Amino acid sequence: MSTISVRHGDSSAAILERLRADILAGRLVPGERLGEVALARRFEVSRGPVREALRLLADAGLVSFTPNVGARVRELSLADARVLYELREALEAEAARLAALRATPEEARDLGALLKQHAGEIAAHPVGAYFQSGGDADFHIVIARLSGNPLILRLLDSELYPQLSLLRRRHGRVQGRGREALIEHERIQEAIAAGDGELAGLLMRRHIRASWTSLAGELSQEEER
């Protein structure tokens, strides 16, 4: 609760951020109704800014919107997941390719250091912790940043990843493939450090595809119940 913003003209952005956080944290569950009046009361603001935030969230894929009916937290199907992963494959492969061409030696070293840290975390924590603790996400975001393409970064960071996060939440815990993923990450980092764009792109493509295979198996298995 608590009042949302002080400066004039920021309330809609603040609400958007709050709603996004609530959805991704699971405080608002998929399918849940997002009534404008209720949200307006909750954020102590009028319906105008709330409407604006909801439209933007719908555009980002976190909210489904039906004219004259209203907004709900989006429910992602298995078909949606496939579509998302196909897009992810293309975007991340391109990001890795560009990152290899553009990353400075220092940036490549930093990426390697990040993986070293992840390796330590995997050794210390029980199986599967890597993926869930955000280590996987960190790595992919850094590469998107190194691509030097702000549009690709935006698509990944504020559209695709949030939707994937919502997907995992909806379909229960997904165990991930921590150890294998880390090894693949290391190969990708090497390709980037070597400036080999084609290889980095190829490896990233395989990495995403493997991740999809693993996820699709769990999801379809779950869908049968």
Partner DNA sequence: CTGACTGAAATTGTCGACAATCTTCCTCCC
Partner DNA sequence: GGGAGGAAGATTGTCGACAATTTCAGTCAG
For residue 120, the tally of other CB atoms under 10 A from its CB is 10
Angle at 17 between CA 175 and CA 147, to 5 degrees: 65
As a whole number of angstroms, the distance between CA 62 and CA 152 comes to: 18
Of the pair 11, 147, the CB lying nearest DNA is at: 11
Instruction: Tell the residue number behind the tokens 């920021």, with chain if given.
Output: 10
Q: Which residues pair with 64 in a beta bridge?
A: 72
136 binds, among its own copies, DNA, none (CB under 5 to 8 A by kind): none
Q: Could you tell me if 100 and 209 are in contact, meaning their C-beta atoms sit under 8 angstroms apart?
A: no
**Window contacting its own copies (CB under 8 A); options: 104-112, 118-126, 143-151, 192-200:** 143-151
Smallest distance from its own copies to CB 90, Å: 4
Give burial (CB, 10 Å; 0-12/13-18/19+) of 76: buried
DSSP 194: T
Site map (CB under 8 A) of its own copies, residues 149-188, x = contact: xxxx--x---------------------------------
Smallest distance from its own copies to CB 127, Å: 32
Smallest distance from DNA to CB 30, Å: 17
56 binds, among its own copies, DNA, none (CB under 5 to 8 A by kind): its own copies
Site for its own copies in 71-90 (CB under 8 A): 83-84, 86-87, 89-90
Q: Quick one: which H or E segment has residue 178?
A: helix 178-193
- Find all residues with CB under 8 Å of 18, minimum gap 6, and list them: 4, 43
Q: What residues make contact with DNA under the rule CB under 7 A?
A: 5, 7-12, 34-38, 45-49, 51-52, 67-71
Q: Judged by CB under 8 A, does residue 93 bind its own copies?
A: yes
Of the pair 22, 52, the CB lying nearest DNA is at: 52
Site for its own copies in 44-63 (CB under 8 A): 48, 51-52, 55-56, 59
Residue among 166, 2, 208 nearest 80 (CA): 166
Residue among 139, 157, 138 nearest 91 (CA): 157
Smallest distance from its own copies to CB 147, Å: 8
Residue among 34, 135, 142, 52 nearest 96 (CA): 142
Per CB under 8 A, residues contacting its own copies are 8-10, 13, 48, 51-52, 55-56, 59, 67-68, 83-84, 86-87, 89-91, 93-94, 98, 149-152, 155
